[in-house]
Amino acid sequence: GQVFKLEDYRPNDYLIPETSLTFRLSPEATRVTAELTVERRDGVAASVPLVLDGDGLTLSRIAIDGRTLAPMDFFATPDQLTITTPPAAPRFQLLIETELAPAHNEALMGLYRSSNVYCTQCEAEGFRRITYFLDRPDILSVYTVRIEARRHEAPLLLSNGNPAGSGELADGWHYAVWHDPFPKPSYLFALVAGALGKVADSFITLSGRKVDLGIYVEPGKEPLAGYAMDALKRSMKWDEEAFGREYDLDVFNIVAVSDFNMGAMENKGLNIFNDKYVLADQETATDADFANIEAIIAHEYFHNWTGNRITCRDWFQLCLKEGLTVFRDHEFSADQRSRAVKRIAEVRTLRAHQFPEDQGPLAHPVRPRRYREINNFYTATVYEKGSEVVRMIRTILGAETFRAGMDLYFQRHDGEAATIEDFIKVFEDVSGRDLSQFSLWYHQAGTPNLTISSTHNAAAQEFTLEIEQSVPPTPSESRKRLMHIPLAFSLVGADCKAIAYNGVEGASVEDGVIHIRKRRHMVRFSGVAERPAMSLNRGFSAPVTLSVEQKADDQFFLAGHDDDTFSRWQAFNTLLTDSLISAFRQVLGGKQPNFASRLTDLAGKIAGDETLEPAYRALALALPSEADIARDIGKNIDPDAILSAREALTAAIAETNSEIFSRLYDRLADKDAFSPDAASAGRRALRNILLDYLSLLPGSAALAARHFQSATNMTDRAAALTVLALRHRGSPETVKALADFGAKYATDPLVMDKWFQIQASVPGPQTIHAVRALTGHPAFSMANPNRVRSLVGTFSSANQTGFHRADGEGYRFFVETVLQVEKRNPQLAARLATALRSWRSLEPARQAKAREALLSIANVENLSADLRDIVERTLA
């Protein structure tokens, strides 16, 4: 396939300042009439052909300035339309008519049907499946859209911008016109038509304008959209307060659809959402679902400025809108909830998803330099690491200067398609700093490592840190340049307070941050009488790994006392990880793993520490996952031994603390009415993780079964079902609970996703059989991305022992399923296929089987570009 390269970018010879679209909707034969105002750029010869993108299109009519084109004046294939001899005039009207069959579009890109609702997905390159166009983000156009449909089939007709007329047509048809005054790239185009229920509200902006808000859902589901609406209004207000950003149209609509490849899409004024991220109430949604809805509603809304008003020049700049918008939604959630807890959750996610990506064959810079299929670059690196890079800019500049830079960015680039260079420049301009070394974070892949050791000279009252940075090689980047790494730190004294020092040399140190720029730094603090404990990378100031020589006593001290909540969690988590890794080695050596009692005791102390918020305690007690442990071990992975090590530590913690845990478990029982707020969710999270520990004690299936039966909300019910399924596989209590749950929610697909997910997570070699059987369940469908991700995605990405079964049976199922999904939906298949990205870190026997599986996909002829790209890069 073709490789697209950043350095090949050049502006197009033609522009399309205005776009007028008319849709005559029908499931089997929709007619799309596009009337484009085309403009040749100054200095471009009239003989230069106009080449438009298409993807599987059928052209039925073409005219320029009202005259039908002669066959020799154009050349059309399903994937391209070339106007070989454009008019001499610099501006002309091009009319293109295409015919589509949305009912047969199972790739869910372009115009398709989801449960009888017409909807679109155009990012990144779906618009070219609707009409021929300059389908690239630097072509900004003002859109007017007319939609015609049979009224009974589609009483609701929506597109971007503001409503601009509607009326009746002959034979039971009707129409609506929408006009979007803000020039936008084609990837932000959207259309929705169907019979949907509406939740209406309004918002008064900063300057006093009233905006009509609508959330559209499947009729009957309106009561489930209340939380999303509330989150939307809070997002609108927050963006005004935190970034001075006001909404700009008269209406803002959100539509929830049940078949969607992504989480949601920020189309101008008409966000389209995976219904999983809109619909929620206590009966059907967990606290995690509520938090995701809040975050994603905010994310898509924030794109209105970071993405839509200022968009990307080309797809290499994807992180310009995504990394920045993730950073903004993280800040929003931190302000709405608990900042410390939010930060810990973010870092857990980054480490779970981005670190393995960065450390494997799919590693790429936050701003990639080449791609074969852009759909495969909506990654944890672009999104999550991209957000961390923006966070580091704020750390380096300070909050005020950062905000000044953002203000300048909005002022300078509003209405433009911008680049990462533009973004960095505004921060250089407001701060007077040189960020050229820093900008390597965008251009260089790989997770930097810092090796740190320290010495204290009591006589000289000197404390010295020896710091060395290295960036491991990644595909096609074997030699790395030195990075600018902002490392937040504190020297913690025995009284738990930061030790003051009266001088520092060897690196620039500002506001508690060491700026590491060279390969090695000897950072010498003077006036330090007492030997401090090192609290490093506080708040996770840089997305790096640390190899720190630190006394276990110091580590325990920080885990119990660090005044930075994140660092305190980090210290405890490091202790857990270290002991899990040595337990893993003990298991491999045929020994019974053993754990230091001060570690298991500390778990009990944290659980019972009423000065800590329950949500924090729950996060601290959640042991590193099997995948986390595998990532930190790095090579020669035997998932079965990791599971044994992890189960042994869980049991040791439960046995040591059974009394504290069970008292606390009883005390946390919720007597108040349900509320999805962060504090209530935190109490449920703590109680549910205690249940998980307690369930390892004798006779505890009954406890979990009681928890399940008495649950008054989905968080508790799903948590209990998980404990039953994972800890009491096959017990009568488990069999009954699974059956009850499956029967009770049989007609609620989003809840059934949880049921699939839980069963796909059960560790051990037998789970493959359950998963295979569930693909035949009436609630399952290979055509629906949420179903596929819940069952197949969970099994292959989140079930280490089940998927990596020693005999390769998990991989055989993987190959069959990926290929089956690919026939309909290549994008979804490519996403599933990333499950094997860390195959080289497995022990040799599994490695060989995984490679065989990947090769058997690569050897299939006519593979989609999406899947071929992932499989070939994974094997390379």
Which residue type, as a one-letter code, is found at position 558?
L
779 binds, among Zn ion, ligand DPP, none (CB under 5 to 8 A by kind): none
125 catalytically annotated: no
Residue from 262, 279, 418, 678 that binds ligand DPP (CB under 6 A)? 262
- Considering Cα of 78, then 80, then 84, then 87, what sign does the dihedral take? positive
Q: Which does 631 bind (CB under 5 to 8 A by kind): Zn ion, ligand DPP, none?
A: none
The reply on whether position 264 binds ligand DPP by CB under 6 A is yes
The helix or strand, by DSSP H or E, that contains position 243, with its residue range, turns out to be: helix 226-243
Q: Please name every residue paired with 52 in a beta bridge, in sequence order, or none if there are none.
A: 81
- Within 310-369, the residues that bind ligand DPP by CB under 6 A are 322
- The partner in contact with residue 831, picked from Zn ion, ligand DPP, none with C-beta cut-offs of 5 to 8 angstroms by kind, is none
Given Zn ion, ligand DPP, none, residue 264, with its beta carbon under 5 to 8 Å by kind, binds: ligand DPP
Q: How far is the CB of 267 from Zn ion (least distance, A)?
A: 12
In angstroms, the CA 252 to CA 270 distance is 6
Residue 265 makes contact with ligand DPP by CB under 6 A: yes
Identify which of residues 330 and 631 has a Cβ nearer to ligand DPP in the complex: 330
x/- binding map, residues 115-154, to ligand DPP, per CB under 6 A?
A: --------x-------------------------------
Q: Which is nearer to ligand DPP, 323 or 802 (CB)?
A: 323
Are the C-beta atoms of 676 and 682 separated by less than 8 Å? no
Q: Is the dihedral of CA 337, 342, 343, 346 positive or negative?
A: negative
Q: Confirm or reject binding of residue 229 to ligand DPP (CB under 6 A).
A: no
| Pairing between β-strand 462-470 and β-strand 30-40 as defined by DSSP bridges | unpaired
For ligand DPP, the closer of residues 258 and 874 by Cβ is 258
638, interface contact from ligand DPP, Zn ion, none, CB < 5-8 Å by kind:
none
Q: Three-state SS for 203?
A: strand
Residue 405, C-beta contacts closer than 8 angstroms, at least 6 positions apart = 393, 397, 426, 427, 429, 430, 431
Q: How far is the CB of 187 from ligand DPP (least distance, A)?
A: 8
Residue 123 contact partner, candidates ligand DPP, Zn ion, none, CB within 5 to 8 A by sort of partner: ligand DPP
CA angle 231, 236, 242 (to 5 degrees): 110
> According to CB under 6 A, which one of 148, 180, 266, 638 is a site residue for ligand DPP?
266
Q: Which residues pair with 22 in a beta bridge?
A: 33, 146
Q: 403: Cβ–Cβ under 8 A, 6 or more apart, which residues?
A: 243
To ligand DPP, the closest distance from the beta carbon of 381 in angstroms equals 14
Q: What residue is closest to ligand DPP based on CB?
A: 265
Longest Cα–Cα distance in the chain:
96
Taking the C-alpha atoms of residue 5 and residue 802, their distance in angstroms, rounded to an integer, is: 39
Q: Letter for the amino acid at 68?
A: T
Supply the minimum distance, in Å, between the C-beta of residue 261 and Zn ion: 13
Q: Which of 330, 226, 329 is nearest to 278 (CA)?
A: 226
Pairing mode, strands 485-492 and 533-536? antiparallel
Residue pair 846/804 in contact (Cβ under 8 Å)? The answer is yes
Which residues 6+ apart lie within 8 Å of 576 measured at CB? 599, 623, 624, 649
Considering the rule CB under 6 A, would residue 176 count as an interface residue with ligand DPP?
Answer: no
Residue among 26 and 292 whose Cβ is closer to ligand DPP: 292
CB nearer ligand DPP, residue 123 or residue 626 = 123
Binding partner of residue 716 among ligand DPP, Zn ion, none, CB under 5 to 8 Å per kind?
none
Torsion (CA) 151, 157, 162, 166 in degrees, nearest 10: -10
Q: With residue 118 as reference, give the H or E element that holds it.
A: strand 117-121
State both tokens at 828. 């979804």
- Decide which of ligand DPP, Zn ion, none touches 265; Cβ closer than 5 to 8 Å per partner kind: ligand DPP
Among the candidate windows 262-270, 331-339, 342-350, 417-425, which touches ligand DPP by CB under 6 A? 262-270
- Kindly list the residues in this chain that would bind Zn ion in the complex (CB under 5 A): 322, 325
Quick one: which H or E segment has residue 405?
helix 399-413
Task: Say which of 266, 300, 357, 626 is annotated catalytic.
Answer: 300
Q: Are 465 and 516 in contact, with CB atoms under 8 Å apart?
A: no
**Near ligand DPP in 423-482, by CB under 6 A:** none
Task: Provide, rounded to whole angstroms, the least separation between the CB of residue 566 and Zn ion.
Answer: 25
Distance, in Å, from the CA atom of 164 to the CA atom of 143, rounded to the nearest integer, reads 12
CB of 325 to Zn ion, least distance (A): 5
Task: Residue 804: name the closest of 771, 762, 836, 774 by CA.
Answer: 836
Contact 130, 176 (CB under 8 A): no
Residue 262: name its binding partner from Zn ion, ligand DPP, none (Cβ under 5 to 8 Å by kind): ligand DPP
How many residues bind ligand DPP (CB under 6 A)? The answer is 9
Strands 251-257 and 270-274, bridge-based pairing = parallel
Show contacts with ligand DPP in window 276-305 (CB under 6 A).
299-300, 303
261 vs 680, which CB is nearer to ligand DPP? 261
Query: Binds 309, which of ligand DPP, Zn ion, none (CB < 5 to 8 A, cut-off by type)?
Result: none
Q: Which of the listed partners (ligand DPP, Zn ion, none) does 524 bind, with a CB threshold of 5 to 8 Å by partner kind?
A: none
Residue placing its CB nearer to ligand DPP in the complex, 268 or 303:
303
Nearer to Zn ion, 322 or 564 (CB): 322
Nearest approach, Cβ of residue 300 and Zn ion (Å)? 7
Of the ranges 41-49, 257-265, 343-351, 801-809, which one interacts with ligand DPP (CB under 6 A)?
257-265
866 binds ligand DPP (CB under 6 A): no
Shortest Å distance, C-beta 312 to ligand DPP = 10
Instruction: For the beta carbon of residue 70, count every other beta carbon within 10 angstroms.
Output: 8
Residue 251 to residues 200, 207, 268, 446: CA-CA distances in angstroms? Answer: 11, 15, 10, 43
Contact 341, 619 (CB under 8 A): yes
CB of 126 to ligand DPP, least distance (A): 11
Nearer to Zn ion by C-beta: 321 or 364? 321
Q: How far is the CB of 470 from Zn ion (least distance, A)?
A: 32
Element spanning 705, H or E: helix 701-710
Shorter beta-carbon distance to Zn ion: residue 119 or 815:
119
For residue 307, the minimal CB distance to Zn ion (Å) is: 7
List residues binding ligand DPP (CB under 6 A).
Answer: 123, 262, 264-266, 299-300, 303, 322
Q: Hey, which residues are catalytic here?
A: 300
